[in-house]
């Protein structure tokens, strides 16, 4: 038959009369989004996503069914089309009840696929678990030990009983992988011929190095210290993260071809050389300068900064701290400092913190273990003066504090109680109240008002072309290691695009999130969280041996099995979320009640989640039109419509068991094969 000519988005195409716009567009490489269409089935027209505008036709048409005509002028991307299409997607999302990815992963700064690797751990496939973890975290054994695990804070299992011990499971898998005969080794792309200099071998720098070497670039990491690892190596005490574990992991990065240049402090001159000799430079120097307490007596001998103190210890020196030590601060560095002080032989160690335990930013387990080790917490006190004698610390005068009303951030502000003080006799004071970036050598870089290195949060770029920055040194300042890793990953992606000369756009992902409460898990069988075996306080107080003993394999696998698998199995394949991202829809534009949610298990080998169903009817129609069974059907009318199977005889269920066509055709994750 003769071909007819038409225009789609200005492109002239040929087609046969009677063909649909959708097909002609697809044949010509123009994708018109659609959710309820299948070539195998009759046209349905439910989703309203494939709408197009045809010149001369006052109404928008559904491309899945509208037939082409000679000289038709079709637009698939006018404002009107986009509005109507996005409305369909936004309306579906307002009625969609499902988690695209688990809250654990969403709350992890690096978006590690927790559910994915827990599943592998549950199956005993540790190297495969590490493969998943290393897509985001190149140092899993180390991070697993020290991460304050925001993932666990959002773990849905807490609605059943307690969150899953995600961080330790990560360390477990990484340890097993490293011990195994064939540890995971990532694939490296062929060389790009470009080279990158990374200044700083901490979590941010090493993550960027790992990602960039895998992308095929040459990478050199410069670090002023003798060993790589940054704060992981010099800030975190041995008893929490053994140097040997970290060393193995940094060595693994080195084995991939990253050049490590230790003991190389980069100053102004070196920096200008790097800028010339490398195609890109990443500054990831961290935040190593202490904040001052700001009270009289800080200059006395016997006053240490937390960072310096820990670094000295980690280098192998033992500063003279005496028998009585006061550590100022309530964060994790303060905990590391006080517990290290105990291990250095101090007999009385105090923590001075101006708020209460509830407000302390340190991990609760750290506080707990410090107390077990004999640390005395002086909550609601603040140093007013460090009293000296002969230039040496003799005591610290503490202002007694109380909590005021909550401020705008929700934290209650500590205020001094007039005239109430306490004198605490000490030999040394360790101030662990915060860290700052040291701009020495990088004077040409623009700084934030707070003195941090200014980098674009979306693409790590700085005021100098080709120089990028990430990690504790930048913007908001020091944070947790996993946040630095996330930034390192982002910087690597940006630098990769920069080196390849392609524009970088930070992938903006939308997620559907379920709204759940304890009630939703009332039926779930309880299983207690695995307790990490630890050394007793007595046996650990006087040495730097690792406190934890690690999970047994049985413990680890059972713990991993507790995962509720909140994230959608179909996230990677889901057309709905892909369109949501591609069309940049507003996921929360429309609010309102959702249709009745239930999980249908009668299909035996397939589970149907009505929460994720958008009634495209593909499963119903494939069962009817293609298979000829019609076991699935629409139920009810209007907003309350649902899809349910109906079996009159048990043979029908048997009939249903093996075809799985409905699962294959579902554009979202509403259907899932369970056997």
Partner 1 sequence: MSEYKSDLTKLEKVFEEYESNPENLITILQKAQEIYGYLPKDVMYKIGEKLKVSPAKVIGVATFYSQFRLEPMGKYLIMICQGTACHVSGSEKLASAVSDYLGIESGKTTSDGVFTLQKVACLGCCSLAPVMMINGEAYGRLTPEKAISILSEIRKKEAAE
Partner 2 sequence: MRIVIGEGSCGIAAGAIKIHSAIEKYAAEKDIEIGITGCNGMCFLEPIVDIYDGKELIKRFVRVSESDAERIVNAVENEDFSSLSDIEISDEDKNFLDLQTRIALRNCGKTDPESIEDYMDNGGYKAIKKVLKMSPKEVIEEIKFSGLAGRGGAGFPTWFKWSAARKSAGEKKYIICNADEGDPGAFMDRAVIESDPHSLIEGMLIGAYAIGAQEMIVYVRAEYPLAIKRLEEAIKQAEKAGFIGENILGSGFSCKMRIKAGAGAFVCGEETALIESLEGKRGMPRLKPPFPAQSGFKNEPSNINNVETFANIAWIIENGGSEFSKLGTENSKGTKVFALTGKVNKSGLVEVPMGMTLRDVIYKIGGGIKNGKSFKAVQLGGPSGGCIPKELLDTVIDYKSLSATGAIMGSGGMVVMDEDTCMVGMAKFFLDFTAEESCGKCVHCRIGTKRMQEILTKIVNGEGEQGDIELLEELCGVIKDGALCGLGQTAPNPVLTTLRYFKDEYDEHISEHRCRAKECSAMLKYSINPEKCIGCTVCARNCPVKAINGELKKTHTIDQNICIKCGMCSKVCRFGAVSIG
| Minimum CB distance to partner 2 smaller for 214 or for 576 | 576
616 in helix, strand or coil?
Answer: coil
Q: Which tokens hold the place of 213?
A: 């070497």
Could you tell me which residues are beta bridge partners of residue 383? 398
Query: Which entry of partner 1, partner 2, none binds 287, CB below 5 to 8 A by partner kind?
Result: none
Query: Which entry of partner 2, partner 1, none binds 592, CB below 5 to 8 A by partner kind?
Result: partner 2
Residue 187 CA, chain-centre distance (Å), reads: 22
d(CA 256, CA 218): 10
HSE-up of 490 (CA within 13 Å, CB side)? 25
d(CA 151, CA 157): 11
| Minimum CB distance to partner 1 smaller for 202 or for 645 | 645
Instruction: Tell me, residue by residue from 600 to 639, as one string, x for binding to partner 1 by CB under 8 A and - for no binding.
Output: --------------------x---x----xxxxxxxxx--
Whether residue 164 contacts residue 141, with contact meaning beta carbons closer than 8 Å, is answered with no
Exposed/middle/buried for residue 247 (C-beta within 10 Å: 0-12, 13-18, 19+): middle
Query: Which entry of partner 1, partner 2, none binds 372, CB below 5 to 8 A by partner kind?
Result: none
One residue of 647, 659, 660, 661 binding partner 1 per CB under 8 A? 647
Measured over the CA atoms of residue 50, residue 54, residue 60 and residue 63, the dihedral's sign is negative
Work out whether 675 is an interface residue with partner 1 (CB under 8 A). Answer: no
| Minimum CB distance to partner 1 smaller for 195 or for 605 | 605
| Minimum CB distance to partner 2 smaller for 58 or for 503 | 58
d(CA 58, CA 225): 71
Query: Which entry of partner 2, partner 1, none binds 645, CB below 5 to 8 A by partner kind?
Result: partner 1
| Minimum CB distance to partner 1 smaller for 528 or for 601 | 601
Whether residue 146 contacts residue 231, with contact meaning beta carbons closer than 8 Å, is answered with no
Whether residue 164 contacts residue 118, with contact meaning beta carbons closer than 8 Å, is answered with yes
CB of 380 to partner 1, least distance (A): 56
Work out whether 593 is an interface residue with partner 1 (CB under 8 A). Answer: no
| Minimum CB distance to partner 2 smaller for 69 or for 363 | 69
CA dihedral 99, 100, 103, 107 (to 10 degrees): -150
SS3 content of the chain, % helix, strand, coil (to 5): 35, 20, 50
| Minimum CB distance to partner 1 smaller for 13 or for 631 | 631
Q: What is the chain's length?
A: 675
Query: Which entry of partner 2, partner 1, none binds 91, CB below 5 to 8 A by partner kind?
Result: partner 2
Exposed/middle/buried for residue 291 (C-beta within 10 Å: 0-12, 13-18, 19+): middle
Work out whether 670 is an interface residue with partner 1 (CB under 8 A). Answer: no
Crossing angle between the packed helical segments 203-214 and 481-500, to the nearest 10 degrees: 40
* Binding residues among 542-561 for partner 1 as defined by CB under 8 A: none
| Minimum CB distance to partner 2 smaller for 421 or for 639 | 639
CB of 654 to partner 1, least distance (A): 11
Number of helices (H), then strands (E), in the chain? 22, 25
Query: Which entry of partner 2, partner 1, none binds 92, CB below 5 to 8 A by partner kind?
Result: partner 2
Sequence-distant (6+) residues with CB within 8 A of 43 are: 20, 37, 62, 64, 65
| Minimum CB distance to partner 1 smaller for 560 or for 632 | 632
Work out whether 494 is an interface residue with partner 1 (CB under 8 A). Answer: no
Name the residues that contact partner 2, by CB under 8 A.
Answer: 43-49, 51, 59-60, 62, 64-67, 80, 83-85, 87-88, 91-92, 94-95, 590-593, 614-615, 617, 634, 636-641
Work out whether 289 is an interface residue with partner 1 (CB under 8 A). Answer: no
| Minimum CB distance to partner 1 smaller for 368 or for 646 | 646
Query: Which entry of partner 1, partner 2, none binds 107, CB below 5 to 8 A by partner kind?
Result: none
Query: Which entry of partner 1, partner 2, none binds 48, CB below 5 to 8 A by partner kind?
Result: partner 2
CB of 662 to partner 2, least distance (A): 18
Work out whether 575 is an interface residue with partner 1 (CB under 8 A). Answer: no
Query: Which entry of partner 1, partner 2, none binds 648, CB below 5 to 8 A by partner kind?
Result: partner 1
Residue 627 CA, chain-centre distance (Å), reads: 43
Interface residues with partner 1 (CB under 8 A) are 620, 624, 629-637, 644-650
């Amino acid at each position: 038959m003769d071909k007819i000519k038409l225009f789609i988005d200005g492109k002239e195409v040929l087609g046969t009369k009677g063909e649909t716009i959708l097909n002609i567009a697809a044949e010509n490489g123009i994708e018109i989004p659609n959710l309820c269409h299948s070539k195998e089935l009759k046209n349905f027209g439910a989703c309203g996503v494939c709408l197009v505008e045809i010149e001369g036709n006052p109404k928008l048409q559904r491309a899945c069914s509208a037939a082409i005509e000679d000289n038709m002028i079709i637009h698939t991307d006018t404002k009107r089309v986009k509005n109507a299409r996005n409305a369909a997607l936004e309306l579906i999302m307002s009625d969609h009840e499902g988690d695209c990815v688990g809250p654990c992963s969403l709350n992890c700064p690096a978006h590690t696929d927790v559910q994915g690797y827990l599943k592998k751990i549950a199956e005993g496939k540790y190297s495969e678990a590490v493969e998943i973890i290393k897509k985001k975290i190149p140092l899993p054994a180390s991070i697993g030990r020290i991460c304050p695990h925001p993932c666990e804070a959002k773990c849905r299992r807490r609605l059943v009983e307690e969150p899953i011990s995600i961080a330790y499971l990560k360390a477990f898998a990484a340890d097993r992988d490293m011990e195994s005969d064939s540890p995971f080794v990532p694939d490296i792309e062929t060389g790009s011929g470009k080279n990158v200099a990374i200044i700083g071998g901490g979590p941010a720098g090493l993550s960027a190095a790992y990602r960039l070497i895998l992308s095929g670039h040459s990478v050199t990491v410069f670090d002023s210290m003798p060993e790589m690892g940054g704060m992981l190596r010099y800030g975190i005490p041995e008893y929490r993260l053994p140097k040997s574990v970290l060393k193995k992991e940094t060595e693994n990065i080195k084995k991939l071809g990253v050049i490590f240049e230790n003991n190389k402090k980069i100053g102004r001159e070196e920096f200008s050389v790097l800028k010339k000799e490398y195609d890109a430079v990443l500054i990831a120097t961290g935040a190593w300068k202490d904040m001052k307490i700001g009270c009289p007596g800080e200059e006395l001998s016997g006053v240490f900064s937390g960072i310096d103190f820990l670094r000295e210890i980690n280098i192998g020196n033992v500063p003279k701290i005496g028998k009585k030590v006061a550590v100022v601060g309530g964060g994790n560095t303060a905990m590391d400092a006080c517990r290290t002080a105990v291990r250095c032989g101090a007999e009385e160690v105090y923590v001075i913190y101006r708020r209460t335990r509830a407000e302390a930013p340190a991990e609760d387990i750290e506080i707990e273990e410090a107390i077990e080790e004999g640390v005395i917490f002086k909550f609601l006190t603040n140093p007013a003066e460090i009293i000296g004698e002969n230039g040496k610390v003799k005591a610290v005068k503490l202002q007694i504090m109380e909590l005021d009303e909550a401020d705008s951030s929700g934290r209650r502000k500590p205020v001094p109680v007039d005239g109430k003080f306490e004198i605490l006799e000490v030999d040394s004071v360790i101030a662990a109240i915060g860290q700052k970036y040291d701009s020495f050598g990088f004077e040409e870089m623009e700084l934030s008002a707070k003195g941090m290195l200014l980098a674009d949060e979306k693409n790590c770029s700085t005021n100098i072309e080709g120089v990028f920055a990430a990690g504790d040194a930048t913007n908001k300042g020091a944070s947790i290691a996993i946040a630095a890793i996330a930034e390192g990953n982002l910087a690597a992606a940006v630098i990769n695009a920069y080196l390849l000369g392609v524009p970088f756009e930070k992938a903006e992902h939308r997620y559907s999130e379920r709204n759940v409460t304890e009630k939703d898990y009332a039926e779930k069988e309880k299983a207690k969280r695995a307790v990490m075996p630890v050394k007793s306080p007595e046996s650990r107080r006087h040495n730097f041996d690792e406190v934890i003993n690690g999970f047994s394999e049985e413990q680890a696998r059972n713990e991993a099995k507790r995962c509720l698998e909140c994230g959608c199995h179909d996230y990677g394949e889901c057309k709905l979320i892909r369109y949501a991202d591609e069309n940049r829809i507003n996921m929360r534009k429309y609010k309102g009640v959702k249709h009745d949610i239930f999980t249908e298990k009668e299909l035996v080998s397939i589970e149907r989640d009505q929460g994720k169903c958008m009634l495209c009817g593909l499963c119903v129609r494939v069962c009817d039109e293609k298979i000829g069974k019609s076991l699935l059907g629409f139920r009810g009318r209007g907003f309350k419509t649902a899809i349910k199977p109906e079996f009159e005889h048990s043979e029908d269920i048997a009939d249903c068991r093996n075809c799985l066509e409905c699962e294959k055709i579902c554009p979202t994750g509403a259907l899932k094969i369970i056997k």
